[in-house]
Structure 1
Amino acid sequence: MVKHGLTARLKRDLRINKELYLILLVPLIWYVIFKYIPMYGTLMSFQNYNMRLGISGSEWVGLENYRRFFSDPYFSRDIWNTISLSLKGIVVGFPIPIILALLINELTNKTFTKFVQTATYIPHFISMVVICGMLKVFLAKDGVISSMVSLFPGVSIKESLLNNANLFATIFIGSDIWQEAAWGSIIYVAAIAGIDQQLYEAAEIDGAGKFRQMLCVTLPCLAPTIIIMLILRVGAVFTTNNEKILLLINSLNAEKAETLSYYIYKKGITNADYSLSAAAGLFNSIINFVFVIATNFISKHVSETSLW
């Protein structure tokens, strides 16, 4: 009886909201094609994959590909580079969108606010190829940034700054902040807009200035959003912007630039070692999943804010 009632309600809902369900169908199909179907490829990590034989006909080798992955001489280096880039990005880059959102919230002129938002959002829409091309030009021996650095006493630039492996993290994270910080601030601006104005009025009556209102009203109300975004960010700690690395890496900075994502690309696409690449990819996904679960668990017990 209950099942019949649920079926009837579902049919009625589909009939009434068929346009909405048709719109939902497009992203659903995309998600199935690009997220669920590729999961079948994880079987390659347990095989000596042969393109001619396919997954169903390739030889099963158990955990051999994982043994090869963990014993690879580049394993520890690439893992460390991945963690280093991600943690530096979180420590330096994560607070920037929050700070930017707080500053935008304090602007009183609507025209100027729209100008600032538009000007800072634009870098997000610039192609990564163009961004990296600009970096190569600006950081070249005679580039704008290199020329400015050369103005400091005792500093002489003899080659592109991109060739300096020790500067790669700074360049990578700095350019990422420039390109994505403003775009990342949108969710915080929206969260601030949803704060009850009566809280600010009450704080003002109590004698709180703008800075005090930000500390006692805005930030506490933003805390749940900040925590959720931090959980998602920590959950992707083993994932780096591989497209950007591919465009900036060279033989001189590879020691610091090669990450786990680049390792997966190199083994799978360049060397056509699909089984090893699949093993590394599955390892990457499992670690990210563990980080999400662990961070969410800690957050739930410390702040009572979590993804579920």
Structure 2
Amino acid sequence: METLVHSTEPGKKPTATKASRGKRIRARMWKDRYLYLLLLPGLLYFIVYRYVPMLGITIAFKDYSPFMGIVDSPWIGFDNFSRIFESSEVVQVIWNTLIISFLQIIFAFPAPIILAIMLNEVANPLLKRVMQSVVYMPHFLSWVVVVGIVTIFFRNEGLVNDLLREAFGAQQTIGFLTEPQYFRPFLILEVIWKEAGWGTIIFLAALSGVNPALYEAAVMDGASRFRQIWHITLPAIRSTIIIMLIIRLGDVLEVGFEQVFLQLNAFNMHIGNTLDTYVYFKGIQQSDYSFSTAVGVFKGLVGLILVMGANKLSKRFGEQGVY
């Protein structure tokens, strides 16, 4: 029998004690024990691989030495963070990262939206499924394979240069992989080719909830396909687009380590070295663990601030945020 604490104020019902509420929670958890058991592997994954490693953030505030360990290494406060803004090399790396990231937002982020709308307009269900399968496939290729394909096609003795010489009479070989001006366009095009199809899944799911009667009414009013897309399709997925954009802003300093690292060389290092590759060079190759950790913490804080700011801004304009 539950123990009740009666309120002294008239007109109020008696409330259950903390002990009785805890008993009910334990009973409900025992009833759903198999669901919690299914939750356990995912929970353990995040605890072991996401939260426990966060203890290593303290390295950013120390002059860390592997021989002394994290605990015994001397505390130096925010000196490593000061180095971030004092080093012209780091400023250049941050600038490179921001340029590549914003180019991805401008060109690569809308690509799955446009592709999802195009797939949604396909009337034949069989053709639609085949096209979806085809555009999904590049996502399952690793960046090593993608960069390898690009290298084979665009190297000096590759297919593209051979085609330019044979078909168009080009006299000089174009260094697609060595000339700096081609580096960033290649990164963006590779991201679009590899991830645009996979990104359509969320937007196609949002489009599946659009009421077909809206399109029927628009046809009766004489609206063209473009007007239907502009006034029905895009407003229907607007909240999804905003949520995905907020999530993307959280990774504004995350442009992909493998893709960039595999295409870096002495010719494009000055415009291609990003925060991820810089942390690798400083932390792994030069053993400057404290400074590289500080750069990683700085990157995470910038992403957190951008997500919170974009989420608050979207709610101020009446849209649904992430939280």
TM-score by length of 1: 0.94
CA 1:75/1:12 → structure 2, altered by over 3 Å: closer, same or farther?
Answer: same
Counterpart for residue 91 of structure 2 = 76
1:259 aligns with 2:274: yes
Residue correspondences, number: 307
1:21 aligns with 2:36: yes
Displacement of 1:144 after TM fit? 2.0
Tell me if structure 2 keeps the 8 A contact 1:48–1:59: yes
Identity of matched residues, %:
36
Match of 1:88 among 103, 107, 115: 103
Q: How does 1:228-247 map to 2 (within 5 A)?
A: 228-247=243-262
CA 1:220/1:23 → structure 2, altered by over 3 Å: closer, same or farther?
Answer: same
Aligned-partner Cα distance in 2 for 1:279–1:239 = 15
Supply the AA of the counterpart residue of 1:60. W
Supply the AA of the counterpart residue of 2:172. S
Gaps of 5+ in 2: 1-15
Counterpart for residue 157 of structure 1 = 173
Supply the AA of the counterpart residue of 1:291. L
Secondary structure of the 1:32 match is helix
Query: Deviations 1:63-103 (Å, cap 9, x if unpaired)?
Result: 22122232223112101100000001110111110010001
Tell me if structure 1 keeps the 8 A contact 2:80–2:290: yes
Counterpart for residue 193 of structure 1 = 208
Counterpart for residue 209 of structure 1 = 224
Aligned-partner Cα distance in 1 for 2:291–2:116 = 43
Displacement of 1:49 after TM fit? 0.4
Displacement of 1:149 after TM fit? 4.8
Displacement of 1:147 after TM fit? 3.3
Supply the AA of the counterpart residue of 2:173. I
Tell me if structure 2 keeps the 8 A contact 1:235–1:295: no
Aligned-partner Cα distance in 1 for 2:17–2:240 = 38
Q: How does 1:1-308 map to 2 (within 5 A)?
A: 1-150=16-165, 156-159=172-175, 161-308=176-323
Displacement of 1:23 after TM fit? 1.6
Aligned-partner Cα distance in 2 for 1:155–1:71 = 46
Gaps of 5+ in 1: none
Larger Rg: 1 or 2?
2
Tell me if structure 1 keeps the 8 A contact 2:81–2:291: yes
CA 1:91/1:155 → structure 2, altered by over 3 Å: closer, same or farther?
Answer: farther
Tell me if structure 1 keeps the 8 A contact 2:84–2:91: no
Supply the AA of the counterpart residue of 1:135. V
Supply the AA of the counterpart residue of 1:270. Q
Tell me if structure 2 keeps the 8 A contact 1:86–1:237: yes
CA 1:62/1:194 → structure 2, altered by over 3 Å: closer, same or farther?
Answer: same
Aligned-partner Cα distance in 1 for 2:150–2:136 = 19
CA RMSD of aligned residues (A): 1.7
Aligned-partner Cα distance in 1 for 2:162–2:35 = 56
Tell me if structure 2 keeps the 8 A contact 1:166–1:256: no
CA 1:145/1:22 → structure 2, altered by over 3 Å: closer, same or farther?
Answer: farther
